[in-house]
């Protein structure tokens, strides 16, 4: 593997949930340790399963892996780190400030930004404290800090006073209020990340066009802040041999090769490794030692019976959605799970039934027009441009709140408005215009705001709260956008995931986030399931068996209702194929 050639001291693996970065990080650590190097494996993934992979309890302490000489591991718990971080910031003001103010600070520190920064706070010593890590030749990190986190840590130093005086807006800067005393250590950590002699960053992807586009965005974001030593790892590629006698396997192989032939230009310049798909779960040392091996793994599923899956499909969910004749349907989930396709399929099927439908997206890579590739009566399609909406929102804030600030305050406000939360809030405001239509027609929304953004809007902003304050005693009827989202009669949130461990855990975290915002997801959709198909490929049959545990977890632990959508032989592009995806014969389909 190219990424292991002359490996530097720090190796970071980053990528979306479900692409296999934990497995590759673990396999890398084992390979380096087997070569006689002293290795520390560190996970900062909220859904970390490193302990499960090695079959031993690890936790937030350096633990020797007994079965692998020279290897130790550490699992940083981002949620625990975030809670300790919140306590450190909120503790001194509790009892001194009104409870409503304290609650607002806690809410501002409740989202993903705080978790990311708190996790960085935990492992920054591993990058800068030589005494702490002097025993190790390599430190392998499962989950690198995002470009967003690093940019925040590079911001000017006067955050605390800026936020305390109320000059900031609802954004990601709240979590930075407690960092002043550690700026030197953070600066050293960021320098270590940018040092190509010490650090190498691996971008882990799957052979899917949408995933590769997201990785290209990550590459540019990290390169722009100095993290230029990057390698691309494309994981889970179906071997040629599996495509010989199985039509579905052949179609998957063809799609993957097409994606690899169309790799974004910015990624083509990177050193690249390809890791073939394995038939087994990547748990335990024998499996991990095979992951990066050049020797093909033999599937053991040929002697097993085919999976007979009898689970609810998309048609049943659409029947429930259509009953009211109108409403807001929001599809949420991590990148690469198929939200755009499913949003288009649901919208097309509702329109086929003669219902008025507005399908809208804010995803720059959604390409809804390509997915639809046609028109159908009573369906209207729109796209909200995040860049345009964000610039409009920034200008509004600068012209109102910024007009009263001095030069330093205005500069800090401009930094505040560069955060990703600013974009989500701006896009949500644009979505709010569309949401009003849901009282008379169906509005199907692809790429909805996260639960964290909704909480910021409600708890720090002020639109929902200000309306409450102004209207609460007037006796007049009013409805805010958040209230519409919290109304189960009007809004149905569909969480989209895959039948794999990490995507299901991430979807469960998203559901908890939404619940805190008072929004109860209506259903889950498990997309691209092999278990819901008929396959003869031994490797795919084994993968189908592996999916059953995750489907069972969704059905029995997470979802009030759910649907399983099969992995299809052909991409569901065009109205006809989208209708086939949602029709009564859609399950077990190979169309």
Q: Looking at 22, 340, 362, 589, which residue is catalytic?
A: 22
pLDDT band, very low/low/confident/very high, at 353 (cuts 50, 70, 90): very high
Strands 63-64 and 71-75: antiparallel
Residues 484-498 have a mean pLDDT of 91
pLDDT reported for residue 286: 84
Q: What angle, rounded to 10 degrees, do the helices at 314-322 and 339-352 form? A: 60
pLDDT band, very low/low/confident/very high, at 452 (cuts 50, 70, 90): low
- Maximum average pLDDT range among 96-100, 304-308, 398-402: 398-402
262 burial class (0-12, 13-18, 19+ CB within 10 angstroms)? exposed
Q: Looking at 18, 178, 327, 333, which residue is catalytic?
A: 18
Per CATH, the number for 2-291 is 3.40.50.300
Nearest to 124 by CA among 6, 10, 8: 10
Pick 167 or 406 by higher pLDDT. Answer: 406
Residue in the block written with tokens 């974009």: 423
Average pLDDT, the chain: 80
pLDDT band, very low/low/confident/very high, at 503 (cuts 50, 70, 90): confident
Q: Looking at 16, 44, 45, 451, which residue is catalytic?
A: 45
Q: Looking at 16, 21, 278, 339, which residue is catalytic?
A: 21
Pick 85 or 462 by higher pLDDT. Answer: 85
- Rounded CA-CA distance 173/177 in Å is 7
Nearest to 77 by CA among 41, 112, 46, 109: 46
pLDDT reported for residue 207: 94
- Rounded CA-CA distance 171/71 in Å is 40
Task: Please confirm, yes or no, whether 377 is among the known catalytic residues.
Answer: no
Q: Looking at 15, 16, 17, 20, which residue is catalytic?
A: 20
pLDDT reported for residue 463: 46
pLDDT reported for residue 218: 87
pLDDT band, very low/low/confident/very high, at 26 (cuts 50, 70, 90): very high
Q: Per-residue pLDDT for 34 more than 70?
A: yes
Task: Please confirm, yes or no, whether 51 is among the known catalytic residues.
Answer: no
Task: Please confirm, yes or no, whether 502 is among the known catalytic residues.
Answer: yes
| pLDDT above 70: percentage of residues in the chain | 78
* Tokens, residue 345: 């399929």
pLDDT reported for residue 521: 95
Q: Which of 158-162, 433-437, 501-505, 556-560 has the lowest mean pLDDT?
A: 158-162
Please tell me the class of the 314-386+441-582 domain: alpha beta
pLDDT reported for residue 144: 64
Residues 308-325 have a mean pLDDT of 90
pLDDT band, very low/low/confident/very high, at 302 (cuts 50, 70, 90): very low
Q: Looking at 14, 16, 17, 23, which residue is catalytic?
A: 23
Q: Per-residue pLDDT for 337 more than 70?
A: yes
Task: Please confirm, yes or no, whether 15 is among the known catalytic residues.
Answer: no
Task: Please confirm, yes or no, whether 18 is among the known catalytic residues.
Answer: yes
Pick 75 or 250 by higher pLDDT. Answer: 250
- Rounded CA-CA distance 91/77 in Å is 21
Distance set, CA 374 to CA 98, 348, 377, 466 (Å): 56, 10, 10, 43
- Maximum average pLDDT range among 37-51, 64-78, 255-269, 325-339: 255-269
Task: Please confirm, yes or no, whether 22 is among the known catalytic residues.
Answer: yes
**Which residues lie below 8 Å from residue 108, measured CB to CB, with a gap of 6+?**
170, 174, 175, 456, 459, 460
Q: Same CATH fold, 314-386+441-582 and 2-291?
A: yes
What does the pLDDT look like over 76-131, one tens digit per residue?
Answer: 877 777 787 778 778 877 888 787 777 767 766 766 667 777 777 777 878 888 87
DSSP secondary structure, 572-584, as one string: --SHHHHHHHHST
Structural domain boundaries in the chain = 2-291, 314-386+441-582
pLDDT reported for residue 587: 43
Q: Per-residue pLDDT for 38 more than 80?
A: yes
Task: Please confirm, yes or no, whether 5 is among the known catalytic residues.
Answer: no
pLDDT reported for residue 317: 95
- Rounded CA-CA distance 275/544 in Å is 20
DSSP secondary structure, 452-464, as one string: HHHHHIIIII-HH
Q: Per-residue pLDDT for 461 more than 60?
A: no
Q: Looking at 149, 341, 360, 502, which residue is catalytic?
A: 502
pLDDT reported for residue 214: 83
Tell me the β-bridge partners of 199: 10
- Rounded CA-CA distance 446/388 in Å is 18
């Amino acid at each position: 593997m190219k990424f292991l050639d002359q490996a530097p001291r720090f190796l970071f693996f980053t990528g979306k949930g479900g692409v296999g970065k934990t497995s590759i990080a673990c396999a890398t650590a084992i390979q380096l340790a087997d070569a006689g190097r002293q290795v520390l494996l560190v996970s900062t993934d909220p859904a970390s399963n490193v302990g499960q992979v090695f079959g031993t309890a690890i936790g937030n302490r350096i633990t020797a892996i007994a079965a692998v000489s020279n290897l130790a591991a550490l699992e940083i718990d981002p949620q625990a780190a975030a809670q300790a971080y919140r306590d450190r910031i909120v503790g001194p003001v509790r009892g001194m400030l009104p409870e409503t103010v304290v609650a607002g600070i806690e809410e501002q520190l409740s989202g993903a930004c705080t978790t990311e920064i708190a996790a960085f706070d935990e492992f920054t010593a591993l990058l800068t404290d030589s005494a702490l890590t002097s025993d190790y030749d390599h430190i392998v990190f499962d989950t690198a800090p995002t470009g967003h986190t690093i940019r925040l840590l590079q911001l000017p130093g006067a955050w605390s006073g800026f936020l305390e005086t109320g000059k900031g807006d609802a954004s990601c800067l709240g979590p930075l209020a407690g960092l002043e005393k550690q700026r030197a250590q953070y600066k050293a950590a960021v320098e270590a990340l940018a040092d190509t002699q010490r650090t190498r960053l691996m971008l882990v992807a799957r052979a899917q066009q949408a995933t590769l586009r997201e990785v290209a965005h990550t590459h540019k974001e990290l390169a722009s802040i100095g993290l230029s030593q990057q390698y691309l790892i494309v994981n889970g590629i179906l071997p040629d041999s599996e495509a010989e006698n199985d039509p579905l396997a052949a179609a998957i192989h063809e799609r993957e090769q097409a994606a690899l032939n169309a790799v974004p230009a910015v990624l083509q310049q990177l050193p690249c490794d390809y890791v073939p798909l394995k038939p087994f779960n990547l748990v335990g040392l024998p499996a991990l030692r095979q992951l990066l091996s050049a020797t093909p793994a033999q599937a053991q599923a040929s002697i097993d019976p085919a999976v007979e899956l009898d689970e609810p499909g998309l048609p049943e969910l659409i029947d429930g959605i259509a009953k009211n004749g109108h409403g807001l349907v929001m599809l949420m989930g991590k990148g690469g799970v198929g939200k755009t396709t499913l949003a288009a399929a649901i919208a097309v099927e509702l329109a086929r039934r003669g219902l008025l439908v507005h399908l809208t997206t804010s995803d720059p890579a959604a390409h809804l027009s390509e997915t639809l590739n046609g028109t159908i009566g009573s369906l209207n399609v729109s796209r909200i441009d995040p860049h345009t909406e964000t610039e409009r929102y920034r200008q509004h804030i600068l012209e109102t709140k910024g007009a009263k600030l001095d030069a330093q305050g205005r500069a800090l406000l401009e930094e505040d408005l560069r955060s990703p939360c600013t974009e989500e809030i701006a896009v949500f405001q644009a979505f709010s215009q569309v949401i009003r239509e849901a009282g008379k027609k169906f509005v199907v929304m692809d790429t909805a705001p996260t639960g964290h953004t909704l909480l910021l809007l409600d708890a720090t902003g002020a639109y929902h709260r200000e309306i409450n304050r102004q209207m609460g005693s007037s006796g007049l009827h009013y409805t805010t956008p958040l209230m519409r989202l919290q109304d189960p009669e009007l809004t149905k949130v569909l969480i989209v995931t895959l039948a794999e461990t990490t995507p299901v855990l991430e979807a469960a975290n998203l559901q908890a986030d939404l619940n805190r915002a008072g929004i109860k997801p209506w259903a889950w959709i498990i997309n691209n399931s092999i278990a819901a198909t008929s396959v003869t490929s031994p490797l795919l049959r084994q993968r189908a068996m592996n999916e059953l545990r995750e489907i069972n977890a969704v059905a029995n632990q997470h979802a009030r209702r759910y649907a399983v959508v099969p992995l299809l032989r052909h991409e569901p592009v065009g109205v006809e194929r989208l209708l086939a995806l949602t029709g009564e014969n859609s399950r077990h389909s190979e169309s």
